Amino acid sequence: MNMKLIILDRDGVINADSDLFIKSPAEWLPLPGSLEAIARLNQAGYRVVVATNQSGVGRGLFDMTTLNAIHDKMHKSAALVGARIDAVFFCPHTSDSHCHCRKPKSGMFEEIAARYNIELDGVPAVGDSLRDLQAGVALGTSPYLVLTGKGEKTFAAGKLPEGTQVFANLSAVVAELLKV
């Protein structure tokens, strides 16, 4: 089984982030070059999976229908540039619900490993916050920090998992992964 998989955070990696949450399809705006980068991964044989905390659902800021509409827009926007996101895993819970799926806990990554029946050792996991990286490192993923979204703040705070590679944005990560 030699599946090439990459796990991406959503807000701040694929699309612009907001401290007020992305609460509607209109607020979901792709970062420049991010969807094209996903298309390049697809062309190189990667399955692209998203793992995203969406506590806005648990906080009552938006409902599941709206979250599905946001993801529908993401999938359609990706398709317009020839990109495909294989699956979206999300945690709808708030930080005080103590669930196992909310990053930095590794539940979503365990679900991904189970769904694709693979070990996550060495699988690239791209995020803009420390918890994105911590969630995957627990299962052996290779951490990639992008400086988009909360990335610059995360980088400045330090304490990154060992072996974290830092890039300007998703396009730069993809250029590095595909240069082999």
* Residues assigned a catalytic role: 9, 11
The side-by-side arrangement of strands in the sheet containing 4-8 is: 87-91, 46-53, 4-8, 124-127, 142-146, 165-167
Whether 103 contacts 55, CB under 8 Å = no
- Judged on CB neighbours under 10 Å (0-12, 13-18, 19+), 3 is exposed
Give me the amino acid identity at 50.
V
The owner of tokens 């993801």 is 71
Cis amide prior to 30 (ω within 30 degrees): no
